[in-house]
Amino acid sequence: MDTNDKTARVFFALWPDRTERGGLSGWQPPLLACCGGRVMRTDTLHATLVFLGEVEAVQLEALKLAAAEVSVARFELCFDEAHYWGHNHIVYAAPRTLPPQLIELVRELEQNLLRHRFAFERREYKPHITLLRNAHWTDKPLPGMSQVCWHVREFVLLESAASSYRILARFCLM
């Protein structure tokens, strides 16, 4: 973040490594062939945990402290289904099964943020990785995809600027 900026657009996310991103980007060509749209850049693929939006720069250290208080075990996360959200024309990867540690991670992170008086977008958590934007599909199931799994060892605080993301901090899981 530019030190002259007064706010940053931030969120917490799971940030897959190059191998997992490669597996997920392999889903994009067949999905693009059936749904059209715009492919998300491989280097930006992530699963949002909690979206905060604009946060004052002076609050970023407190935000990092709140996240550092999370105490959740590492876990494996597998994305094995592609779905379409018609209301925003997005095709995304989703896990068929939610590891309990993922739900616990989001819950603890939200509780810590509330305790530290941070405002954030509150909605039912549905883990996903956006693969295509501006897509068009029906309610029919999308083609099957090869499972992409990774061992989640950390989560990150990301700043969103234009069409890229910058990691502001990393937080290790137990």
Task: Give the dihedral sign, CA 119/172/79/37.
Answer: positive
- The verdict on whether 46 is a catalytic residue reads yes
Is residue 45 packed enough to be buried (19+ CB in 10 Å), middle (13-18) or exposed (0-12)?
buried
At residue 96, the 3 state secondary structure works out as coil
What is the C-alpha separation between 78 and 51, in angstroms, rounded? 22
Q: Which of 89, 116, 128, 136 is catalytic?
A: 128
What is the greatest pairwise CA distance in the chain?
Answer: 48
Among residues 46, 87, 89, 151, the one annotated as catalytic is 46
Give the residue among 98, 111, 34 at the shortest CA–CA distance from 66: 111
Active-site residues: which are they?
Answer: 46, 128
